[in-house]
Amino acid sequence: MSRPPNYEFQKWWNKQRENQHELFVDESEKPSCLTVEIRSPTADQAVEKERARSARQISWVCLLRFQKIANSFAYLTNGFVSVLRTANRRIADADLPSRRQQSRLYRVIKAFLIVVVTLLVFELVAYFKGWHFSPPTVGSAAEVVDFVELVYANWLEIRTKYLAPALQCLTNVCVVLFLVQSLDRVVLVLGCFWIEFRRLKPVVAMEYPADSENVNVEDYPMVMVQIPMCNEREACKFSLGNLQFPLYGFEFLLHRLYIPSLVWAQVYQQSIASVCIQDWPRERILVQVLDDSDDLDVQALIKAEVQKWQQRGVRILYRHRLIRTGYKAGNLKSAMGCDYVKDYEFVAIFDADFQPAPDFLKKTIPYFKGHDDLALVQTRWAFVNKDENLLTRLQNINLSFHFEVEQQVNGVFINFFGFNGTAGVWRIKTLEDCGGWLERTTVEDMDIAVRAHLCGWKFIYLNDVKCLCELPESYEAYKKQQYRWHSGPMQLFRLCFMDIIRSKVSSAKKFNLIFLFFLLRKLILPFYSFTLFCVILPLSMFMPEAQLPAWLVCYVPGIMSVLNILPAPRSFPFIVPFLLFENTMSVTKFNAMISGLFKFGSSYEWIVTKKLGRSSEADLVAMMENEAEPLVESTSLQRSSSESGIAKLNKLEMNKKSGKNRRNRLYRKELALACILLSASVRSLLSAQGIHFYFLLFQGVTFLVVGLDLIGEQVS
């Protein structure tokens, strides 16, 4: 049996615990006495001094932060004022074009702007009258006899019954096209990842030794190198069949991808030098400088440069056409008609701002060995000015994806891609087999690539062989380049569609050419990009019955931008500007696509891309210093040639200074679209549509910046 509990002992024990707890509490409530006994006066003074010092430090930190905030605010204010002054000056100095000079697309955009502003006024009136919360009907508005309310009620009925369903149908079509194009982009990226994972590369049958001494010259095939150049200052005609279209060119110098006249001299010298120092037996290479200039001083300078390299023992020829038609295609066609061309097996083509490395031919020619069906070896472009400004950074993102993803995937899996017009080596037999260079479009490089593919030839792309070149640094030059690049494919599609249908290639290749190569990437992409983000999205703010989901406006474009930027990982901070700028460029690409598809006269303009002549001068000088070949002629002859060239260059510079100065421009289509998008953002703000509002706001500001030519090179 258990012992019974002792309740008296428990009561005593609990009473003792309560007394001890009160004792401990009483002692803890008097900490001051204990503290006074252990503190000293010197310790109190040190603590107070540290506290005072800490207070002064905090005040200084606060002052420094306030100063930084004030400086940042002043910097932003000065920048904003500077932008306003620049915009005001450009608006005041802008040349207002006549109505006849206004493009069709600009007239449509201007009418669209008037409609959007009118709708915005109606919506503001409706918002302040409370009609957004209780929309009036036609019957109720007629009873009240308020004209404005009656008009707004009729507008609501018309947009609900007729306009919104049509807009929703167009939206659904663009959504489908957008998803198909996004799927194509994802497939390309996955293909690129597969290539990197499996390390898939074109197989080379042999390699040339790095040492050029004690080699068998017969192992090196005969190679011809062409450098097409031009210097146009006149209104020319570009023939297409039996039609001729006048081309009013701007001042551009020396080559197809071009430069201002103050720096062009060193560019053509470096271009010729980079080709003449190729590590290839000299008796097995011939350089053709194809000069299409009409300026006698320019011709004399190029001739002097060619003679200088002839004196060094280089086999180089100068050619000038008397009948200058067809631009680059006509120039190349004329050069291929020479009798000595039959002695050569391959031809390498470089535009005049391209600088191939000395081992370029040694890295490309071996791929033709053992591949008799190989027509083209295309190399990658590397840009010397990709970090020059925001415009060149955004171009680098776009072109990096084009070369590393599109060209590489198409080259590995289907052995076909569009020839980039330069930095490539062709088999001359291929050019003869597919009809040679044709002057029927402004994209002669894509034209001959398509015809070669239809004849059964294969292409190889080398992503690890790079050729230095330059990106256009001004928006004006970049816009003209993109216009030609997007109008030419539509011209070519009209001309070669039936040839593709009647060709003997497989159905898969026909599908790839028609649907993927032309329709999806050249026609559908600019169509849905402009229609979806510049037309449907603003209209959907004024017609809320037509739904445009947020994932289509924000999330999917963001994912596609991330995929685009993967080949250029250093450009990740520019992902948002890249997305907005690509949507801004959609107006130019859409206009070019429509012009080329429907044969508008502007689609046949050949306006070359102006560039600033940035190049790797130090590399070329170092390579030239390694050349130990003695000159054939005496030093005095070189000195006289050099002095003559300097005199002619000074004369050209004086002519340039006396001419018309360059300046930044205003772009009307971009400014009109900026007003449209900003007006739509105000309407979306009234409806509290967060994602749509921010997208329209930032996109409208981007159009405004581009329209004022505040992106790219700034000319004072």
Supply the pLDDT for residue 284. 95
CA dihedral 385, 390, 394, 400 (to 10 degrees): 30
- Structural tokens at position 551: 């994932």
Asked if 543 and 530 touch (Cβ cutoff 8 Å), the reply is: no
Q: Which three-class secondary structure state does DSSP give residue 475? A: helix
Supply the pLDDT for residue 41. 52
Supply the pLDDT for residue 113. 95
Residue 194 burial (CB count, 10 A):
13
Give the Cα separation of 233 and 235 in Å (integer). 7
For residue 473, the one-letter residue type is E
Q: Which of 180, 291, 300 is nearest to 227 (CA)?
A: 291
Q: CB burial class (10 A; 0-12, 13-18, 19+) of residue 577?
A: buried
CATH 3.90.550.10 segments of the chain: 220-233+260-389+402-471
Residue 204 burial (CB count, 10 A):
17
Task: Indicate the pTM of the whole model.
Answer: 0.79
Q: Which residue has the tokens 């609501």?
A: 156
- Structural tokens at position 145: 């006899």
Cα separations in angstroms, 352 against 12, 29, 302: 108, 92, 12
Inter-axis angle of helices 390-401 and 556-565, to 10 degrees? 90
- Structural tokens at position 563: 């995929």
The contacts of residue 213 (CB under 8 Å, 6+ apart) are none
- Structural tokens at position 592: 């070019």
DSSP string over 30-66 = -HHHHHHHH--HHHHHHHHHHHHHHHHHHHHHHHHHH
Residue 612 Cα to chain centre, angstroms: 17
Cα separations in angstroms, 686 against 126, 128, 181, 559, 679: 10, 10, 33, 29, 11
Q: Which residue has the tokens 């070519």?
A: 492
Give the Cα separation of 161 and 140 in Å (integer). 18
Supply the pLDDT for residue 97. 54
Q: Which residue has the tokens 């940035």?
A: 614
Q: What angle do CA 388, 389, 394 make, to 5 degrees?
A: 110
Asked if 563 and 213 touch (Cβ cutoff 8 Å), the reply is: no
Residue 313 C-beta-side C-alpha neighbours within 13 Å: 12
Give the Cα separation of 661 and 666 in Å (integer). 16
Is residue 134 left, alpha or beta, with left meaning phi > 0 and alpha meaning psi from -120 to 50?
Answer: beta
Give the Cα separation of 515 and 497 in Å (integer). 11
Give the Cα separation of 138 and 151 in Å (integer). 9
Supply the pLDDT for residue 323. 81
For residue 547, the one-letter residue type is Q
Q: Are strands 285-291 and 223-229 parallel, antiparallel or unpaired?
A: parallel
- Label residues 173-191 b or e (16+ Cβ within 10 Å = b): ebbebbeebeebbeebbeb
Asked if 553 and 691 touch (Cβ cutoff 8 Å), the reply is: yes
Note the residue count of the chain: 716
Strand-pairing partners, residue 3, are: none
Asked if 249 and 607 touch (Cβ cutoff 8 Å), the reply is: yes
Q: What does the DSSP 8-state code read for residue 4?
A: P
Residue 257 Cα to chain centre, angstroms: 15
Q: Which three-class secondary structure state does DSSP give residue 503? A: coil
Q: Which residue has the tokens 């096209």?
A: 177
Supply the pLDDT for residue 336. 95
DSSP string over 651-696 = HHHHHHHHSPPP-----HHHHHHHHHHHHHHHHHHHTT-HHHHHHH
Supply the pLDDT for residue 689. 74
Residue 682 burial (CB count, 10 A):
16
Supply the pLDDT for residue 150. 83
Active-site residue list: 292, 445
Instruction: Chunk the chain into consecutive blocks of 10 residues (it has 716) and report each block's average pLDDT, rounded to whole numbers.
Output: 59 68 48 46 54 69 84 78 69 57 83 94 87 73 67 87 93 94 96 95 88 81 92 34 34 32 58 93 94 83 92 94 85 93 96 92 95 96 93 96 97 96 96 94 94 96 95 92 92 94 94 95 93 94 89 90 94 94 95 90 59 51 44 39 49 50 81 95 85 93 93 75
For residue 696, the one-letter residue type is L
Which phi and psi angles does 599 have, rounded to 5°?
60, 40
Supply the pLDDT for residue 233. 32
Q: Which of 376, 594, 383, 600 is nearest to 471 (CA)?
A: 383
- The class (CATH top level) of 220-233+260-389+402-471 is alpha beta
Supply the pLDDT for residue 62. 85
